[in-house]
Structure 1
């Protein structure tokens, strides 16, 4: 009995409906970017986003859940396209129980879904289950065997028992357990033909379509297993793999929705399956990678040189290179996006909503890569030829590093191209050179960012400094350490530059992009002026400054006080960055995330993830939204809470930032809610005028906005207004009519300039005509030379064009001297050229006389010289040159 020919989208919906009928809550796919899980770069399995529900750390929305989860796996990316099984993007169907049903229900429902005519309808005789065979530390899964044998009715000889590698799910310490897989026999035509070929063979005959994990033990990671109080079910079934079985096709690339994408690629590239093995590989690579890229970008991943951004960049660049192998040298991947979206939008409608954004990201990355690969490929080809000429099979690590460091050519791309030519890369040498470069970079950064005495050890027993400056301007503190002349000292006197470490402070240290407070430390007649505050790894606040009066000593009790004017100006700029972040997300999309910032008094620099320059309209709208939120006068509330509670409020956190168990949540009227440790205003109205100064690129996929707030914005506005009034006075009008007056004046200037140019042209032609009247006859050609005072090159050309076009027998050489430099122009009419007299040859003959050079075409040429005293000799040589050419 052949299985029903379900389409991939039909199978997905069929599975979810089935488990909904069994009391499961259907959830949408979680994003590919893991939430609150630093152990994963990208979601790679159906259960990965649900770890807290499995461990009991969080209460699930239901104790029965079913999903179809988007997944990315890139561990075997080199195999993509070469095999029928490997793909980077796939969907995992799953039904999950968190302390609810267990083995019996899980096995019965798996069998019902796969074999019932009302559902998938696979032939029961072609299905083979497997169970865990047990080992010295963990007992065999006899319960699962009994259910398959006694309740489902599978003969014992058709139930396969495998070891821990195949039938036990475990990942370090934590929940784990045996699993039961179901294999489908596709028939002899798919087999390897070897004797004894059966379930577990590496060929394509017996394909696993179901895997249910019985999470029943807790492992300590050292081989000891205890029963879990809450037993769970984790079922995983590859949607594409099940579609292969139902549709009777050879690979995931032949499944209906995937093949439709390949057909689009073929339409663009004019390449088709079956033309050659290389063509098939390239078509598969492009199809797989564009699927992955589309979903990754939709979920907020942007191309970059690290982390998940690098995974995306590598996929796009690999696909683009295979496009070049198929003869496509222009960006084309972005054109395939519509097909990917059309095939998947039924279940993932967000793809259509973000189509324009996804397309733009891919196109920009393709265009950027084109610049890299075009230069790098020619260099790589030359280097490979050199290796082959020496009969070397190993491509040197130094050459691979040169390609990476100088031309931006990724090592994985170099490796792939080199291996296609039967060579390998010396990656050990490459990694050594990379590490040396990192060391140099670290040393350079250390030299640039040297804080003088920041490396001083203050002692492990010294407590970290307590910051109390959010709510108070002043506080009493004890001096724990004094550093002067780069050494720990007991005290520092008047005039000494020093670092002072306190047990508490109200001065904010530079961190999170916010510059440090300035202020004072006072004790009696002692006054220490603080010009910088840095926080070291031990949590000590180092107050840099100078002793203005008295002496500061270890053990002193001082009063700390920050500069209120500076603090307020910094707070204005910092609060504005939160409003700017929100405005950018509103205008550009949720993919925008902060990638760095610098907050100074009434000035800010904000880096954010985005793929292209902002248009004038987008910048204007961002500026408007920030100022609108300022005018709204949102109250700014700061709450201290646990990290989990903060995330439940929807507070934005910076990716990659390390947060403690307790965080500060800055809420601006519920308009902007972010985790932030900086200092802020108590109302957005106090930001004052927000003004965007510039917007530009700082790295691929990262943009930067620089802006001003408060007094700086007011000063800029006042200066601009003053210039406006001054300009209006110059034009003798009022500011409201300045633009109209300026345009009128510019129009008049254009007309006047045109009239002057016309006059100059006529005057030049008239003067050239007078030169022609004085020409000498040399062998039937009219030869003339002349020096034109204070002429530029354009004037000479106009005169020369007139002479050449006026008389076909003319041979003219004009010169001018400006700033001690000679400019020559030679022209020859068509009759002169026909007799062998060419302008370029004349210039080459006379320019060297004046210490210069030049050349050009036969009818017009230019040159120069520097010896003005030889100018007459050069012009006198023209007659002789023409005579020699004519043989006179």
Structure 2
């Protein structure tokens, strides 16, 4: 049975039993503590913890999931994968244990001809929480399981919670005995013979503080009991398809087969190669799904994970012996297998492949550059006698140059070196924590949402800002640091929730409105507006006057000029997006945006930079649309209808079943959007594109000003042109040629200066070589150069002096100087000096220490630097002293 059929049967089974089929949420998680959705129940957490009222009592879904903790284990075992799918059925205060067990057992054991999975009942077991006698009784009654096929397990294995105080409850799992070839009889811990493939969570208790897995206090029972289940789709697939692991199922193995064809190596012949094949198959599929959901490669958060997955896949193909670009061969194979379940992959493949292939091209260049950087680092470490690559150096290679840590480890081993992996992981963990902290701060900075939930339970905040900028309202609640407060006094910064508000909360790339909220004797300045939980709009305000109390009648007024400019920017973003697609084609889809009064930026999928002519054409198409005074309208409609008429959605965004569609000129621009807009395109005003740049492989960014900001920008540009014209005595149209002429003349002058400086260096070499100092039989030259000579000049001078020195006496040359405020030093020795057991690397380290830095190199020439320019003379003296000590010692 194909994986897509297993998925279809699951959804149909539960839909036929009154469950609402809920589409998978996008992989990027809305929770600031998570990068991606790691489990099927995550999208339903707001319902389970009481943040939101569920719109249905029964639901079912097949949720796309990504777990990133085990990336390095992928391929080494047959059970670790990054992307997987979790089938689930959920009850919110409706049915409970007996129905959940009955549904699961029926679907699992019903014959395939009757729409079930057809598992043999004789090899199925159930595990339960050891105190849950109720579940044991149900398994006996519903499934007819005898005592010896019901396993009692402890809290660690069969009791679920989210790891923090909140809902929890016992679990019950369905396991299958795969036979003695997979392990010992009754060995529940090994996990290979008795494989769990469906977990039923009976969410009935409330837990207190304590460790994540076990040892916490159970505070009591929940007033409303819920069901959360998870059936691992990939596990069921390999059980039903007669293969041993998830890498060999129909949705994954074709990538391995194609990789085998390309590399000429067979899967199953070499354990080391098999790991690489599995890494390729898993990472290619995971990358396909992540890009499909709007993630783009980058150096932070989800983009960083995607970049790592793509690069590990490419590198694994190279280690298998395939040197050519591999993703164009493998990604279409994965797409063809996944599109049965996710048809949007076929529709968006031009964009997905463009991003993936651009990342591979960038990584192939990185491998070349990174290898050179690594080789240089290794030579310096060896010269210093160090046998371990520091964690900081590995992290820099990884973070700055995209060099994978496993590649660093492998190449270091080839050089006889180890890598400080612990130091590397520490730095990686610190970076991840910084990223999470930044994300949390953007969500109003409060980990505890109980205060918001309490206010949300009193009703939603009505948004009136589409039709008015001023609203009479009432204060529903005040929060201080996320906790409900009785009042707010003058000078305080607090959060305020109103019954209704005209203030737009930051979302969809549009920043929050500014303005004031006033009451009798009270004045509040609105600093920010957010939606920390669905349906609740929270104003972050500073109390300018008076004391604010809950229940107060207020007048909320949005700054009119702010909103007008914000509308111009948001509508301008839609205009530019439509212009992009008109000029570049339908694959130039928006992948993110940001707009504030007078300014917009738009990220879009594209593989190369835009030349000036293309940028000008996009700007012209945008302004023509503005001039045409196209009508702008917004309409609510079912999501299915919006998709049917071709409304564009932002990748990675989650949408309700009822959506708002904004049109500019009808089908010319039709997008799902909750933002505020102008009424006619002419109200956008002048639109001028100010920049275009790369923000990651396959993703470009356009920036533009609109309205008055565009006019101010053009005014500044005009003033700049006027100033240049006056200074250069040229008409505006003559400026490009005049400036090009000046640049060429400057380049020629710089070359002449460089030639003159080289001549001075060579002239100094002859004089210095002719007058060395005798240090116990060693010809010693210690010279401080004039400021401004860099490391290359110092090295050139030292080598030239060495070449002019007599060869019948040992010679040591130390040249030091300061360039751009940073001191540098070079030490060069002739052959006879090295025979006297002098080493340039040892001497340069002594000099660099006086400069407050480090140095190293070979025995005949070495280079170093530091941070203390005042130490140059001391460095020269220290080397001379060391030479004397070495010779006389």
Q: State the TM-score bracket (shorter-chain normalisation).
A: 0.5 to 0.7
Q: Deviations over 1:180-234 (max 9, x none)?
A: 011111111122x5xxx42413152111121111111222435233222221111
Distance 1:620 1:396 in 2: 50
Instruction: Give the drift of 1:653.
Output: 9.9
Q: 1:215 aligns with which of 187, 203, 209?
A: 203
Contact 1:578 1:674 in 2 (8 A): no
Residue 620 of structure 2 corresponds to residue 628 of structure 1: no
Residue 241 of structure 2 corresponds to residue 247 of structure 1: yes
Q: Deviations over 1:631-687 (max 9, x none)?
A: 33546999xxxxxxxxxxx9999999xxxxxxxx9998996776779xx86754233
Q: Residues 219 and 123 of structure 1: is their aligned pair in 2 closer, same or farther, counting only changes over 3 Å?
A: same
Q: 1:284 aligns with which of 278, 282, 294?
A: 278
Instruction: Give the drift of 1:249.
Output: 1.6
Contact 2:28 2:652 in 1 (8 A): no
Distance 1:241 1:434 in 2: 31
Q: Deviations over 1:307-355 (max 9, x none)?
A: 1111111100111111111222232113212211211211211011011
Distance 1:48 1:563 in 2: 40
Aligned to 1:170: 161
Contact 1:89 1:291 in 2 (8 A): yes
Residue 695 of structure 2 corresponds to residue 703 of structure 1: no
Distance 2:182 2:712 in 1: 77
Q: Deviations over 1:142-164 (max 9, x none)?
A: 11011112442211122111111
Higher alpha-carbon Rg: 1
Distance 2:274 2:285 in 1: 17
The SS at the match of 2:238 is helix
Distance 1:260 1:279 in 2: 16
Distance 1:567 1:253 in 2: 53
Q: Residues 355 and 423 of structure 1: is their aligned pair in 2 closer, same or farther, counting only changes over 3 Å?
A: same
Alignment of 1:341-490 (within 5 A): 341-380=335-374, 383=377, 394-404=388-398, 407-411=401-405, 414=408, 423-428=418-423
Distance 1:189 1:283 in 2: 24
Residue 139 of structure 2 corresponds to residue 148 of structure 1: yes
Residue 9 of structure 2 corresponds to residue 11 of structure 1: no
Question: 1 or 2 for the larger relative contact order (CA 8 Å, sep ≥6)?
Answer: 2
Aligned to 2:118: 121
Aligned to 1:202: 190
Instruction: Give the drift of 1:267.
Output: 2.1
Distance 2:690 2:614 in 1: 15
Aligned to 2:601: 606
Aligned to 2:218: 224
Is there any run of 5+ residues in structure 2 with no aligned partner, and where? Answer: 211-216, 435-467, 471-492, 494-506, 515-525, 529-538, 545-558, 636-646, 654-660, 722-751, 756-889
Q: Deviations over 1:488-525 (max 9, x none)?
A: xxxxxxxxxxxxx9xxxxxxxxx9999999xxxxxxxx
The SS at the match of 2:200 is strand
Instruction: Give the drift of 1:20.
Output: 2.9
Aligned to 2:152: 161
Aligned to 1:850: none
Distance 1:714 1:313 in 2: 39
Distance 1:263 1:170 in 2: 40
Aligned to 2:447: none
Aligned to 1:91: 85
Alignment of 1:670-749 (within 5 A): 684-692=681-689, 695-697=692-694, 700=697, 702-707=699-704, 709=706
Instruction: Give the drift of 1:97.
Output: 1.5
The SS at the match of 1:85 is coil
Instruction: Give the drift of 1:434.
Output: 11
**TM-score, reference length from structure 2:** 0.57
Instruction: Give the drift of 1:259.
Output: 1.2
Distance 2:623 2:167 in 1: 48
Q: Residues 710 and 21 of structure 1: is their aligned pair in 2 closer, same or farther, counting only changes over 3 Å?
A: closer
Alignment of 1:50-61 (within 5 A): 50-61=44-55
Contact 1:418 1:425 in 2 (8 A): no
**TM-score, reference length from structure 1:** 0.57
Distance 1:651 1:358 in 2: 16
Q: Deviations over 1:463-491 (max 9, x none)?
A: xxxxxxx979xxxxxxxxxxxxxxxxxxx
Distance 2:246 2:44 in 1: 27
Q: Residues 300 and 618 of structure 1: is their aligned pair in 2 closer, same or farther, counting only changes over 3 Å?
A: farther
The SS at the match of 1:257 is coil
Contact 1:627 1:690 in 2 (8 A): no
Q: Residues 343 and 700 of structure 1: is their aligned pair in 2 closer, same or farther, counting only changes over 3 Å?
A: closer
The SS at the match of 2:590 is coil
Contact 1:132 1:180 in 2 (8 A): yes
Instruction: Give the drift of 1:57.
Output: 3.8
Is there any run of 5+ residues in structure 1 with no aligned partner, and where? Answer: 1-5, 134-139, 440-469, 473-500, 502-510, 518-532, 543-561, 639-649, 657-664, 724-817, 822-888
Of 9-18 and 418-427, the range deviating more from structure 2: 418-427
Aligned to 1:443: none
Aligned to 2:28: 33
Residue 171 of structure 2 corresponds to residue 179 of structure 1: yes
Q: Deviations over 1:256-279 (max 9, x none)?
A: 331112112222232221342221
Distance 2:381 2:713 in 1: 63
Q: Residues 410 and 668 of structure 1: is their aligned pair in 2 closer, same or farther, counting only changes over 3 Å?
A: same
Instruction: Give the drift of 1:112.
Output: 1.8
Q: Deviations over 1:723-769 (max 9, x none)?
A: 9xxxxxxxxxxxxxxxxxxxxxxxxxxxxxxxxxxxxxxxxxxxxxx
Q: Residues 189 and 363 of structure 1: is their aligned pair in 2 closer, same or farther, counting only changes over 3 Å?
A: same
Contact 1:698 1:704 in 2 (8 A): yes
Aligned to 1:881: none
Residue 272 of structure 2 corresponds to residue 271 of structure 1: no
Q: Deviations over 1:782-821 (max 9, x none)?
A: xxxxxxxxxxxxxxxxxxxxxxxxxxxxxxxxxxxx9xx9
Q: 2:313 aligns with which of 314, 319, 323?
A: 319
Aligned to 1:66: 60
Contact 1:608 1:703 in 2 (8 A): yes
The SS at the match of 1:632 is coil
Residue 332 of structure 2 corresponds to residue 334 of structure 1: no
Distance 1:513 1:187 in 2: 58
Instruction: Give the drift of 1:122.
Output: 1.8
Q: Deviations over 1:271-308 (max 9, x none)?
A: 22134222111111010000000011111111111111
Instruction: Give the drift of 1:45.
Output: 1.2
The SS at the match of 1:696 is strand
Q: Residues 432 and 613 of structure 1: is their aligned pair in 2 closer, same or farther, counting only changes over 3 Å?
A: closer
CA RMSD of aligned residues (A): 5.0
Instruction: Give the drift of 1:46.
Output: 1.2
Q: What is the number of residues matched between the two proteins?
A: 588
Q: Residues 273 and 653 of structure 1: is their aligned pair in 2 closer, same or farther, counting only changes over 3 Å?
A: closer
Contact 1:80 1:87 in 2 (8 A): yes
Q: Residues 571 and 87 of structure 1: is their aligned pair in 2 closer, same or farther, counting only changes over 3 Å?
A: closer
Residue 190 of structure 2 corresponds to residue 190 of structure 1: no
Distance 1:334 1:618 in 2: 29
Contact 2:588 2:606 in 1 (8 A): no
Q: Residues 124 and 393 of structure 1: is their aligned pair in 2 closer, same or farther, counting only changes over 3 Å?
A: farther
Q: Residues 541 and 361 of structure 1: is their aligned pair in 2 closer, same or farther, counting only changes over 3 Å?
A: farther
Contact 1:262 1:287 in 2 (8 A): yes
Contact 1:190 1:204 in 2 (8 A): yes
Distance 1:54 1:419 in 2: 50
Distance 1:319 1:216 in 2: 43
